[in-house]
Structure 1
């Protein structure tokens, strides 16, 4: 039995002396490989978190920017809404003007003793060259003739074309044709 133990010990020592360094080196490489895998996994997780945080901050910045645009637009709308509320409603008069556009002129002319301004309806008739008793077709014909000469493309001016359009609209409104 002692001989078997001695032979076993010699074989074990020989095998251990031959293969132990290879086994230890393999174990060291295995541990190094595991640490390398762990390091790459940590780097991947950190990169993923950094990417996620960058996307989150970019989305938050975009939302804040869009919110600022919306807030600015809302404030502008509110400003104009309050301004219109402060002005009050405009009331259309018989002659097609709104509010006190013509009233002040008439009062001033009468106070100075001068002639009262002409009726806008009469001015519109004169602009289109119409006499009383005209029909809708007469109005259309007179408008086409007047706009042909007043249009800026035909040598007229924008103000003249606007005056012709305003005259036609005023006459049509007065007669209920529009």
Structure 2
């Protein structure tokens, strides 16, 4: 993992929100980031649902709406809470709250992560992808939540607590 990322995200428990957003064609909205996983080289892609950290005093749903706007340019509505996903691979420890969401406004664009400067952006693209294309990616290049569902329908049915393994 890039040492600048470790300084931002490492050595603490980080509470995050993630949104499962499906378009009318049945494709899942994902962000492509570089240098996120400790299993990856810094410039390798990593595909993940849209999301990010909750700021102090911010509700989970407000954080999710903010993250979607920042990363994708889309305004969303939150439909329902899905599951808790916990990832521990020190120095990273994240507790992620997953929600089913839908786009209600805005225009899809590759956004900006304010935690990183202009010259150190980790977001390389955002796009709707067929779930089969996500599943075909190497394991280390996709969020581990995708391991627990063989389809978008099954992904949206995940409930309870999931511990990454």
Q: TM-score normalised by the shorter chain: which range applies?
A: under 0.3
TM-score, normalisation: structure 2: 0.21
| Higher Cα radius of gyration | 1
Structure richer in helix, relative to its length: 1
Q: Which has the higher contact order (CA 8 A, sep 6+)?
A: 2
TM-score, normalisation: structure 1: 0.20
